[in-house]
Structure 1
Amino acid sequence: MNDAMLKALTKGRVRLGDWTSRRSRDRGQTAVEYLGIIVVVVAIVIAITGTDIGSTIMTAIKNKIAELTG
């Protein structure tokens, strides 16, 4: 094996190692991000169902469906 090929393979191996170590560090962070998204969605659903906005939206949807179906 010549020097150029050895250097290229070593460089690729180092980059692959860096990439895999970064992926393993991100696992916990993504779980926290998903939890945050779920909390936001639940808050929006509670806000819609707990106020008159929910019934207004439901009425508008029913009206549009009735218009489309005739």
Structure 2
Amino acid sequence: MQNLKLLKAIVERKNRLRRGADEGQTVFEYLGIIVIIALIIAAIIASGLAGNIAGAITTVLGDITGD
């Protein structure tokens, strides 16, 4: 019975360690995605496409609402 309790404690500890490693990795993955999105937005603004995109969205919204 003592061996079973010890085995259970070891397995629970390993599971906790695995989950902790996954959580840390997820934070860096989200950070990477945020950085990529920010770079894409900065490139759109720097290239001057932002005005064209805003104009196209305004036109489409006007067509949808009937203005």
Same fold (TM over 0.5): yes
2:45 alignment partner, one of 38, 44, 49: 49
Give the total of aligned pairs: 65
d(CA) in 1 for partners of 2:11 and 2:54?
53
What is the TM-score with the length of structure 2 in the denominator?
0.69
**CA RMSD across the alignment:** 2.5
Q: Mark the runs of 5 or more structure 1 residues left unpaired by the alignment.
A: 1-6
Deviations 1:8-64 (A, max 9, x none): xx8877655443221011222122112111110110110111122211111110000
d(CA) in 2 for partners of 1:53 and 1:21?
47
Aligned counterpart, 1:25: 21
Aligned counterpart, 1:66: 62
What is the TM-score with the length of structure 1 in the denominator?
0.67
